[in-house]
Structure 1
Amino acid sequence: MTSTPILYWARRDFRLGDNPALAAAAASGAPVIPVFIVDEVVESHGAAPKWRLGLGAEVFGAALEGAGARLIVRRGRALDVLRALIAETGAREVHWNRLYDPASRARDEGVKAALKAEGIAARSHAAHVLFEPWTVETGTGGFYRVYTPFWKAVRGRDPGDPLPVPKLRAPGAWPASDDLASLALGAAMNRGAEVVLPHLAVGERAAQARLDAFLENGIDAYAEARDDLARNGTSQLSENLTCGEISARTCWWAGRRAMEEGRAGAETFLKELVWRDFAHHLVHHTPHIVERNWREEWEAFPWNTDASRADVVAWQRGRTGMAIVDAAMRELYTTGRMHNRARMLVASYLTKHMLTHWKIGLDWFEDCLVDWDPASNAMGWQWSAGSGPDATPYFRVFNPETQAEKFDPHGRYRRRWVAELSANPPETALAFFEAAPRSWGMSPDDAYPARPVVDAAEGRRRALAAYESRGF
């Protein structure tokens, strides 16, 4: 055993169990110093994701204290902070779990190269997805561009067993830490934080409890219930997966056991986990997906790119006059999440009915989603817009009115979130006005828009005409 400590750099892996980087550091027998850095990547996040990451770090810090360790928090450029900690502690190794989006990769590659040049062992580990992007190849050695063959390629694979919680050895002295609260990661949330907070389940224990509840009460009906807008039919694990409070591998084996037991929705749940992997597969192989059209032919499409335009502002604030779209946008602002079916509807309405660039929607989601994930967000928006891999065809324009009839036939979802639709609106609908900025000047007493900013039928006709004029 050695007294020279190892730094474990926590990023989106706020868990003790099945944490390869933490386990590897602990297995060495050396003291382990966990560190969370509010670095250049974290600082670039939107309001809700940055706030949620801070909440996750806070709970993870408490879990580490329960295991006899601490979470050292610092603010600054990642390489500068790590160098400072190495100088302070004498550490000769740094371990972290890999991420695959362009910003994280650029940061990590720079850190690894610099540390290695200085004689520091920099070791990255696989932990964020089931199967690392470069390990899944087509028969010709390329990467997958379509989900279904990707699913078929991995559905029988073994991602390995989840790792147990490691025993952590403390250093002789802990380095100084910034106070996480003083870093104000939730500052941009303003008064919305208090409204959104009750809808969250933060930390490893909460994530496991969510998975257990889903397996007990939700997985059998999952294939059908996940599309019912008024029903709590999903696992709700997305915020925990994106912060790494539970591993995809833990969820995978839980789903596999359920499938072996004959639980009806288990395979659909596994497919959704693999869909998340597929997003990271694509962002690794084609990193431009996060900022420009995946399909080059869409670069010339005449999207509206003005985010200040009145109809875009109405979309952001849930005032389009299309009730199903408005309900979804208000759910987002009130809870930090949005039903998956609703995400497709609001994205289709923005990009097809309103002919607005998907990047405007992507940026809004990045600011508002507590479960924001750079890969899933980019793939989802480009799928809806028609500009991405395995995308919905350009001619498939979701009709929000017929979608509402199919997935919210009794209007419960719409009334739950749009106060103006009810004489006595529920607390969920009223909470939106507590979360919304006062500068928006919105009140539940406002009259609901008499007509939508874009009519469903007219929007479809306009979209198809625009696509056909461009030769799609």
Structure 2
Amino acid sequence: MSGPTLLWLRRDLRLGDHPALTHAAARGPVIPVFIRDDEVRGLPAAPALRLEAALGALSKRLEGLGSRLILRSGEPVEVLRGLMAETGADLVVWTRRYDPQGKESGAAVKAAHPAESYPGALLAEPWEVKTKTGGDFKVFTPFWRALSARGIAPPRPAVSPPAPSQWPASEALADWHLSAPMNRGRAVISAHIRAGEEAALAQLDTFAGQHLADYGDARDQLGQAACSGLSAALACGEVSPRQVWWAASGQSGAEAFQRQLAWRDFAWHLTWHSPHMLSDNWREGWEHFPWNQDATRPEVQAWMQGRTGVEIVDAAMRELHLTGTMHNRARMLVASYLTKHLMTHWRIGAEFFAEHLVDWDPANNAMGWQWVAGCGPDAAPFFRIFNPETQAQKFDPTGAYRARWLAPDSGFFDAVPRRWGLTPDMPAPTPVITLKQGRERALSAYHDMRNGRQVY
């Protein structure tokens, strides 16, 4: 007879399509564990708020099944060592992570304990999707072809963890105060969160039944609820990407949606093969590009506060402050405006998004910002500068999106930091730079850099 298995949960807070849990349950009793290590303690504010909600939902669900979620604080190697001694557990299992810190902590646990890691966070492991010569991909379209051609395995059924005869002690989630850094924005953002696996699956079912067929045409329309709304659930692992893929398979609009889902895999493919992308320029030759790197400059503060004077940009930033999310098309617009019209380093924007997005995913965030800024995997970095006005005309033709988030009674002024001193009676902001000036300045800088590289 084997002892209990410790299921070390990380960003896989679900019971369905969970290979590590499936293996653990086949052995016998399972003790689900979540560890508040230094990484969790250092999470940005909005992701920490969302994680708190996800952990609460999972704990409640496990209790309903006669199981428990054990919460402990400390370094994973030491916490797991203590739990193995307390419970007689003889194996630790978990879902793999692909960022440097996640890989390092997993390797340390494997070196110290009987342990096994399993897939489950992506459609395919980053090393499984290869070019014809066996290398890694740098461009999305051929990556997409290779990923879709290899086929996606169907999701596994949900498993109820068999309970051990005795449970170890657990810390209390409320004592962790994960959401405390959100301050007064906590209540505002929390009203938009629907946490837990059951909520995620219900959202997936609604999307597949009501919006998938029109997804290809409607997904960029800012005023329509045409997107899946599953990004935060995917970030917390409340639903697996294979569950999402297969829910769409065989239906009208499936390919357009699955293609977007594959971008998430592509981001982690790039991160696995080029981990420096999370903090540094992915593309070589951008080390001396003349980006502003001072986040305190007035124009950068105006961008953060949704007061640039460009309505579509300001509406998107206010959506972020009020909901903890932002429409994907709007993310590209505000990123382009910051990095190109305002010539500000993409890292400033990426860090701001990390602090405010409940669906923050480090690989998606880094890739998205660099794709827009020009130093990432975009095939057309030098001339892709979004014009906010024409984008607004195309993707918010009725102005519904702008009207919703720019409304004085939207709640925006109750969500942002008091130190900003923003009030509803403030006059409308004037543009910090004209769109023409911003575009010309960015193009000039890009061409100077390109010509300089040719000289050397």
User: TM class, shorter-chain normalised?
Assistant: over 0.9
Q: What's 1:69 paired with?
A: 67
- State whether structure 2 residue 369 is matched by structure 1 residue 389: no
- State whether structure 2 residue 406 is matched by structure 1 residue 408: no
**Offset from partner CA, 1:389-426 (integer Å, 9 cap, x none):** 2354221111111111111112111111113xxxxx4x
- State whether structure 2 residue 215 is matched by structure 1 residue 216: no
| Counterpart contact for 2:46–2:358, Cα < 8 Å | yes
2:418 to 438, 452, 456: 438
Q: What's 1:78 paired with?
A: 76
The offset of 1:342, in angstroms, is 0.2
Q: What's 1:460 paired with?
A: 439
- State whether structure 2 residue 154 is matched by structure 1 residue 170: no
**Offset from partner CA, 1:338-374 (integer Å, 9 cap, x none):** 0000000000000000110000000001000000001
Q: What's 2:454 paired with?
A: none
| Counterpart contact for 2:15–2:160, Cα < 8 Å | no
Distance 1:184 1:257 in 2: 44
Alignment of 1:97-246 (within 5 A): 97-113=95-111, 115=112, 120-246=113-239
**Offset from partner CA, 1:319-354 (integer Å, 9 cap, x none):** 111111011011001000000000000000000001
Letter in 1 for 2:88: G
Gaps of 5+ in 2: 452-456
| Counterpart contact for 1:86–1:92, Cα < 8 Å | yes
Q: 1:403 to 1:213 in 2, by over 3 A?
A: same
**Offset from partner CA, 1:167-214 (integer Å, 9 cap, x none):** 422112111101001100001011111111121221111101111111
| Counterpart contact for 1:353–1:456, Cα < 8 Å | yes
Q: What SS class does the counterpart of residue 377 from structure 1 fall into?
A: helix
Q: What SS class does the counterpart of residue 338 from structure 1 fall into?
A: coil
Between 289-298 and 156-165, report the one with greater CA deviation.
156-165
| Counterpart contact for 2:372–2:378, Cα < 8 Å | no
Distance 1:315 1:107 in 2: 36
The offset of 1:377, in angstroms, is 0.4
Distance 2:152 2:86 in 1: 37
Distance 1:57 1:21 in 2: 18
- State whether structure 2 residue 260 is matched by structure 1 residue 301: no
| Counterpart contact for 1:384–1:391, Cα < 8 Å | no
- State whether structure 2 residue 313 is matched by structure 1 residue 313: no
Q: What's 2:310 paired with?
A: 322
**Offset from partner CA, 1:1-30 (integer Å, 9 cap, x none):** 44x2110011111111111111110011x2
Letter in 2 for 1:359: R
Letter in 1 for 2:287: E
Distance 1:159 1:122 in 2: 26
Post-superposition, which runs of at least 4 consecutive aligned residues in structure 1 deviate over 6 A? none
| Counterpart contact for 1:13–1:128, Cα < 8 Å | yes
| Counterpart contact for 1:40–1:78, Cα < 8 Å | no
Q: What SS class does the counterpart of residue 308 from structure 2 fall into?
A: coil
Letter in 1 for 2:312: I
Q: What SS class does the counterpart of residue 298 from structure 1 fall into?
A: coil
The offset of 1:468, in angstroms, is 1.4
Q: 1:212 to 1:461 in 2, by over 3 A?
A: same
**Offset from partner CA, 1:230-279 (integer Å, 9 cap, x none):** 11110011011111111100111111131xxxx1x211111011111111
Letter in 1 for 2:85: A
TM-score of the superposed pair, with normalisation by structure 1: 0.94
Q: What SS class does the counterpart of residue 8 from structure 2 fall into?
A: strand
Distance 1:456 1:77 in 2: 49
| Counterpart contact for 2:341–2:441, Cα < 8 Å | yes
Q: What's 2:51 paired with?
A: 53
Distance 2:107 2:382 in 1: 37
**Offset from partner CA, 1:79-99 (integer Å, 9 cap, x none):** 221122122212111000011
| Counterpart contact for 1:383–1:392, Cα < 8 Å | no
**Offset from partner CA, 1:130-151 (integer Å, 9 cap, x none):** 0000001101110000000011
| Counterpart contact for 2:58–2:196, Cα < 8 Å | yes
- State whether structure 2 residue 282 is matched by structure 1 residue 289: no
Distance 1:210 1:305 in 2: 39
| Counterpart contact for 1:54–1:180, Cα < 8 Å | yes
Q: What's 1:39 paired with?
A: 37
Gaps of 5+ in 1: 420-424
Letter in 2 for 1:341: R
1:96 to 90, 94, 97: 94
Distance 2:161 2:105 in 1: 27
| Counterpart contact for 1:9–1:95, Cα < 8 Å | yes
Q: 1:392 to 1:11 in 2, by over 3 A?
A: farther
Q: What's 1:422 paired with?
A: none
| Counterpart contact for 1:51–1:185, Cα < 8 Å | yes
Q: What's 2:264 paired with?
A: 276
Letter in 2 for 1:434: D
Distance 2:382 2:106 in 1: 37
Q: CA RMSD in A?
A: 1.2
Letter in 2 for 1:151: W
Q: Percent of aligned positions with the same letter in both sequences?
A: 55
Distance 2:82 2:248 in 1: 43
Distance 1:39 1:79 in 2: 10
